[in-house]
Amino acid sequence: MQLLSKLPLTAAILAGGKSSRMNMPKCLIPLENTKIINILISKLKGIFEEIFIVTNFPELYFYTGIQMIGDIYPFKGPMAGIHSALKNSKYDVMAFACDMPFIRQEIIYKLFETHYSKNKTATVPLFDDKIYPLPGIYSKKLLNTIEGLLIEDKLSMRKLLDDVGAYVIEVANLDKEGVSFININTFEDLEILKSKKGGILCLD
């Protein structure tokens, strides 16, 4: 259910990786006359009170006008990005992968409503029998726990979710095609996405 005001959550777009398989930042690849990250930003700006791009390459994203923060523990994966966002945010953080731009708004609102009604430290979606850490909501109460894991180089997001008792929501009824979970790791993924872009880009 869409709310009249923006959500009291911080959206964190995680763009700190090296994208070694693509030899360029995945989220800056052009798609439908824009960049992949721009598709995600345009959707999130109308929903969240606060938005960050978490990146180790801020010069690449100055053009967006979105506030940027860097990883305190660089190149340690999504856990490091979530940590930096939690350390700088006003609210709990909903973290997004920069190469998954087609998140359905219905899933965002469902995660938000459940996170606060259940009073959980983390809330994440389940689709096609797979748990997705991103997009997911992480409480500011997790900051010290995540920092300890980063210091010890224990970077498994799935283990973190298990250990903190994350609330897992089945979302197939909100996104039957699974477009919210399409990501781009290789040029083959990009070609598949381009082949489907007409149907995907018209989705809310």
**198 CB-near residues (< 8 Å, 6+ apart):** none
CATH 3.40.50.800 fits 7-201, yes or no: no
Instruction: Compute the distance between CA of residue 144 and CA of residue 157 in angstroms, rounded to an integer.
Output: 15
CA 104 and chain centroid, separation: 12
Give the 3-state secondary structure of residue 156.
Answer: coil
**154 CB-near residues (< 8 Å, 6+ apart):** none
Show me where the domains of the chain are located: 7-201
Confidence of residue 203 (pLDDT cuts 50, 70, 90): very low
pLDDT at position 30 is: 81
Q: Whole-number mean pLDDT of the chain? A: 89
Tens of pLDDT along 56-91? 999 999 999 999 999 999 999 999 999 999 999 999
Tens of pLDDT along 147-162? 999 999 999 999 999 9
Q: How much is the CA Rg of the chain, to the nearest whole Å?
A: 16
Tens of pLDDT along 88-133? 999 999 999 998 899 999 999 999 999 999 999 999 999 999 999 9
Give the 3-state secondary structure of residue 135.
Answer: coil
Token output for 59: 């010069």
**Arithmetic mean of pLDDT, 195-200:** 55
- Return the higher-pLDDT residue of 194 and 112: 112
Q: What percent of the chain has pLDDT over 90?
A: 71
pLDDT at position 1 is: 47
Token output for 115: 């996170």
Confidence of residue 202 (pLDDT cuts 50, 70, 90): very low
**Arithmetic mean of pLDDT, 42-68:** 95
Of 105-114, 166-175, 189-198, the one with minimum mean pLDDT is 189-198
Instruction: Compute the distance between CA of residue 167 and CA of residue 57 in angstroms, rounded to an integer.
Output: 32
Residue with tokens 């973190």: 160
Confidence of residue 183 (pLDDT cuts 50, 70, 90): confident
